[in-house]
Amino acid sequence: MKNKVKLSLVVFLMVMLGCFTSVLADSTGGRYQLKNNVSGYNSMATYISLDKSEISLTLGETYTLLSHNNSSNGNVLWTSSDPSIATVDSNGKVTALKTGEATITVALQDGSNLSTSCLVKVKELTTISLNKTIDSIKVGEEDSLSVVVNPVGVGVTWASSDSSIAAVDESGKIKGIKPGQATITAMTSDGKIATCSVTVTDQEVKKVKLTLYMGDGVTREYNLSEDEVNDFMNWYNARANDPKLKSYYIFNVLGKKQYILFDRIKTFDVE
C-alpha cells in the first residue's frame, strides 16, 4: 500500500512538472496556453502616447505619427475623423487631402480601451511671387516691389542681403545707397520666399560746357560737371571782388593740370 502511495506521488509530481514546462514552452506574445487548454495571463497596456498632439500640413504633405505603448501585443488601430481631409495608414502616416481639420486616433487592440489622438490642420499651399526678379536703380533713386501671396493675408517680411547697397522697407520700397548689387527677399510667415536682384549704379553726371574767352583772343572750352562749373564761378567771382585771393584756377584736362590766370580771362560763357 505504501509503495502505491509513493508511486502515485511521483506520478503527480511528474505531471505537474510537465505542465510547468509546457507553460514555459508555449508562451507567445503575453498569452500562455496550457496543454489542458486552460487560458493563461494576457497583459493589457497602462498607457499609449503620440509624438504630436497637433500638426499643421499643407495640401499633399505627409507626416508619420509615432505611437508608444506598453501593451504586450502592441496591436493598434489608426483612424481619421474625416478621411476626406486627412487619411492615416496602418503605420501612422498622415496625408493631407484638403483644407480643414481632422482628428487622427490610435487605439490599442488588447482590450484595454486605451487611445490617444492628434489634431491635424490642413492649410492651402502658400505661394509667393514678386512683380520683378531683376531691377536696376541709381544711387538715391527709389523703386517699389509688389508681392502676391496665396492664400491672401499671409504675412510677409522684407530683407536686403546688403542694405549698404540697396535698402528695403516693410512695404517693399527699395532705395539705392551706393553702387553694387544686392538681393531683396520677401518671405512669408511659413518660410516661402521670392527674390529680386537689384543693381545700383552711380547717378549720371550732367556735363556743362564752360567757354573761356581769353584776352589774347584764344577760346578755351571745358566739359565739366555742374559742381565743377559752380566751383569755377565761385572762385572767379570771389577773385573779382578781392585781388588778394588766388590769381589762378586749375582745370584737370585728361589727367593733366591746366592753370588759367584770372587776369587773362576776358569773359566766359556757360551752356
Q: Which residues pair with 168 in a beta bridge?
A: 174
Domain contains 59: yes
Q: What's residue 114's pLDDT?
A: 92
- pLDDT > 70 fraction of the chain, expressed in percent and rounded: 84
Q: What is the largest CA-CA distance in the chain?
A: 163
Claim to verify: residue 216 and residue 266 sit in the same structural domain: yes
Q: 83 preceded by cis ω (within 30°)?
A: no
Claim to verify: residue 117 and residue 152 sit in the same structural domain: no
Q: Which residues pair with 66 in a beta bridge?
A: none
Claim to verify: residue 135 and residue 81 sit in the same structural domain: no
Domain contains 85: yes
Q: Are 67 and 114 in contact (CB under 8 A)?
A: no
Q: Does pLDDT of 13 surpass 70?
A: no
159-170 per-position pLDDT tens digit: 999 999 999 999
Q: How many domains does the chain have?
A: 3
Domain contains 188: yes
Instruction: Give CA–CA dist 95/85, Å, rounded.
Output: 8
Domain that holds residue 132: 127-201
Q: Does pLDDT of 55 surpass 90?
A: yes
Q: Which residues pair with 148 in a beta bridge?
A: 129
Which CATH number does the domain housing residue 236 bear? 2.30.30
Claim to verify: residue 184 and residue 224 sit in the same structural domain: no
The H-or-E segment that residue 120 falls in is strand 115-123
Domain contains 18: no
Asked which of 201, 220, 245 is the last residue of a domain, the reply is: 201
Name the pLDDT band for 200 (thresholds 50, 70, 90): very high
Q: Which residues pair with 27 in a beta bridge?
A: 32
Which CATH number does the domain housing residue 80 bear? 2.60.40.1080
Q: What's residue 40's pLDDT?
A: 39
The H-or-E segment that residue 225 falls in is strand 219-225
Q: Does pLDDT of 21 surpass 70?
A: no
DSSP string for residues in 56-93: EEETT-EEE--EEE--SS--EEEEES-TTTEEE-TT-E
Q: What is the residue type of 127?
A: T
Q: What's residue 43's pLDDT?
A: 65
Q: Are 46 and 110 in contact (CB under 8 A)?
A: no
Asked which of 123, 156, 185 is the last residue of a domain, the reply is: 123
Claim to verify: residue 194 and residue 180 sit in the same structural domain: yes
91-106 per-position pLDDT tens digit: 999 999 999 999 999 9
Domain contains 148: yes
Claim to verify: residue 165 and residue 188 sit in the same structural domain: yes
Asked which of 201, 229, 258 is the last residue of a domain, the reply is: 201
* Grid coordinates of 28: 507567445
Claim to verify: residue 115 and residue 152 sit in the same structural domain: no
Name the pLDDT band for 36 (thresholds 50, 70, 90): very low
Claim to verify: residue 110 and residue 55 sit in the same structural domain: yes
